[in-house]
A and B are shown apart, each in its own frame.
Chain A
Amino acid sequence: MSIGRDEVLHVARLAELDVPAQDVEGLVGQIGRIVDYVAQLNQVPAGEQAAKFEAGPPVVALREDVPGAVPLARGPESFAPEFRDGFFLVPRLGSMEAE
Chain B
Amino acid sequence: MSGVGAQAEKVEAGKVSAAESARDVADRLKLAEARGLNATLYWSEAMLAAEARRVDALRASGVALPLAGVPIALKDNIVTTDAPTTCGSRILEGYRSPYDATVVSRLRAAGALIAAKTNLDEFAMGSSTEHSAYGRVLHPLDPERVPGGSSGGSAALVGAGVVAAALGSETGGSVRQPASFCGIVGVKPTYGRVSRFGLVAFGSSLDCVSVFGRTVDDAARVLAVIAGQDARDATTVAQLPLELQPVPGSLTGLRIGMPKEYFPADLDAGVRAGVDRAAAALRALGAELVPVSLPHTAYAVPTYYVLAPAEAASNLARFDGARYGVRRVGPAGDLPSLYRATRGAGFGPEVRRRILVGTYVLSAGYYDAYYAKAQQVRNLIAADFSTAFGAGGVDLLLTPTTPTPAFRAGEKTSDPVSMYLADIFVSAVSLAGLPALSLPSGRSDGLPVGVQLVAPAFGEARMLAVAAALEAAMDATGEVR
Q: Which residues of A contact B (CB under 8 A)?
A: 3, 7-8, 11-12, 14-20, 27, 30-31, 33-35, 37-42, 44, 46, 48-53, 55-57, 60-61, 63, 70-76, 78-82, 88, 90-96
Contact = CB atoms under 8 A, between A and B. Distances in A.
Given A16-B340, A17-B352, A72-B99, A93 B369 contact: no
Contact of B335 (A41, A79, A81, A96): A96
- Interface range, B side: 35 or more
B335 A92 contact: yes
10 contacts: A15-B359, A27-B356, A33-B417, A37-B302, A37-B417, A38-B357, A61-B234, A72-B98, A82-B327, A91-B335
Contacts of B2: none
A80 B376 CA distance: 41
A95 B338 CA distance: 12
Interface of B: 81, 95-96, 98-99, 191-192, 205-206, 231-232, 234-238, 296, 299, 302-303, 305-306, 313, 317, 320-327, 329-330, 332-341, 343-345, 347, 352-353, 355-357, 359-361, 363, 369-370, 373-374, 376-383, 415-417, 420, 431-433
Contacts of B338: 90-91
Nearest to A93: B335
A88 B323 contact: yes
Contacts of B306: 38, 41
Given A34-B305, A55-B206, A90-B322, A79 B369 contact: no
Given A15-B356, A91-B338, A81 B321 contact: yes
Contacts of A27: 352-353, 356
B356 A79 contact: no
A17 B324 CA distance: 17
Contacts of A55: 191-192, 205-206, 235, 433
B373 A34 contact: no
Contacts of A15: 313, 317, 343, 355-356, 359
Q: Is the interface of A mostly helix, strand, loop or mixed?
A: loop
Contacts of A33: 415-417
Ranked 5 nearest A-B pairs via Cβ:
A94-B334, A18-B344, A56-B235, A50-B383, A16-B339
A67 to B, nearest CB: 14
A30 B305 CA distance: 13
